[in-house]
Structure formats: structure tokens, C-alpha cells
Amino acid sequence: MRDLFIEKLYEISKKPYQKLFKKGEPWTISQKELLQLPEESLGFHLGCFLLKYNFEIQPKLENHDVFHVLTNTGVSVPEEIGMQYFLYGNGKRSFYLYMVLVTGTLFYPAKISYFKSQYQRGKNALIFHSLDYSKMLNIPLNTIRNTFKII
């Protein structure tokens, strides 16, 4: 029940967040084009992620799915919250992130050790949350992970 509640909050808040807070231009690449990139590339792995979960590229929110790929994080509600803890540890700051951290911690107190470990993983990585991934889609995924110590 709490998963449904959190997912509903996300669906309600996604459009206003896209419109009000995301100022950049949407990417001009399709999932099909991502899957045509070299198999070791970030772009190919992003395309596979989208295909695996039957997701579409969300305009102006593309980095979110890239973070899933880079951090090897699943898409369950606790994993989504954990990824935000990872990003918080990595230095990302936003109103939306704070909302996820607060509601996630309140709704999933039994997951606090998982959240702390994700925070620590983010802290141990070099800052990567602010990169322009649209220009990095051809770079091998493992090169990015190793360069930024995303373990």
C-alpha cells in the first residue's frame, strides 16, 4: 500500500517538476537509437534499462534513468529512495530530492541501514551527478563508473 502511495506521489509531482524546475532541453535521441550504440556504451546500457522496464525517455528527466544505470539501482520504491540517498551523498541538492529523502525515511524506517549504505556509496564516489550525460552516451559504461569510483 505504501509503495502505491509513493508511486502516486511521484506521478502527481513529475509533470510540475519537469515544467518548473528542469530548464535544460530534452534529449533528441530515441530508445531505438540508444540500442544502436556500441554494446559497452552508457547509451546502449541506458537503452537496455528502458527496454527491460518498459520505460520511455522522459523529457528533461533523462539523467534520472542514467543514474539508475550508473549506480546499478533497481526501480522498486525502496531502491528509488536509496538512489536518492546515493545522490545526496554525492552532493546533489534539490527540493525534490529532499522530499524523497523525508517521505522515504518516514515510510521505510526498516530500510534505514540500506539508505545509509547508499549514502556512503555516493559519498565515496567522485561527484558525477551534474555531468552532461547527453554528450557521454558513447563512452563505455565501465569507464565512467571507474573514473568516478561509482561502486
SS (H, E, C) the chain: CHHHHHHHHHHHHHHHHHHHHCCCCCCCCCHHHHCCCCCCEHHHHHHHHHHHCCCCCCCCCHHHHHHHHHHCCCCCHHHHHHHHHHHHHCCCCCHHHHHHHHHHHHHCHHHHHHHHHHHHHHHHCCCCCCCCHHHCCCCEHHHHHHHCCCC
pLDDT at 4 over 80: no
Q: What is the pLDDT of residue 3?
A: 73
Grid coordinates in use for 31? Answer: 530508445
Mean pLDDT of the chain: 91
pLDDT at 13 over 70: no
82-93 pLDDT, tens digit per residue, is 999 999 999 999
Q: What is the pLDDT of residue 119?
A: 98
pLDDT at 76 over 60: yes
Please report, in angstroms and rounded to a whole number, the separation of the first and last CA atoms in the chain: 32
Mean pLDDT on 56-74: 94
| pTM as predicted | 0.88
Residue owning grid cell 569510483:
149
